[in-house]
Amino acid sequence: GESVGLHLPTLSVQEGDNSIINCAYSNSASDYFIWYKQESGKGPQFIIDIRSNMDKRQGQRVTVLLNKTVKHLSLQIAATQPGDSAVYFCAETDSGGGADGLTFGKGTHLIIQP
């Protein structure tokens, strides 16, 4: 994906293994969280979301876990494929009042090794 920041964390995994990408958020008032995938030259692509009244949500090959106590979010990707190579961002917002601009994390570069 587009390089974000000079020191983007990198996670390297073998094809077929599971990947876990972590994210810490700072705003205790945030009640909605999204994971995005950004490939090189493209805009962020919605993967999965979760509301603060849940602690786990599953999609196709992806699972998001939310721990509000420690303000931590994780994205698990099962059976990682070459097409999963990208930069992954977590995003948060306090959606009350209808103003829900997202605050993004710095991103993690996921590299899939054959």
Q: Which residues bind another protein (CB under 8 A)?
A: 2-6, 32, 34, 36, 42-46, 49, 89, 91, 93, 95, 98-107
Least Å distance between CB 22 and another protein?
17
CA neighbor of 20 nearest in space, from 51, 54, 61: 61
**CB closer to another protein out of 82 and 98:** 98
**CB closer to another protein out of 2 and 62:** 2
**H or E element in which residue 19 lies:** strand 19-24
Give every CB contact of residue 74 below 8 A, 6+ residues apart in sequence.
20, 21, 22, 23, 64, 65
How far lies 47's CA from each of 3, 12, 38, 70, in Å? 19, 20, 10, 23
Least Å distance between CB 86 and another protein?
13
**CB closer to another protein out of 44 and 80:** 44
Least Å distance between CB 52 and another protein?
11
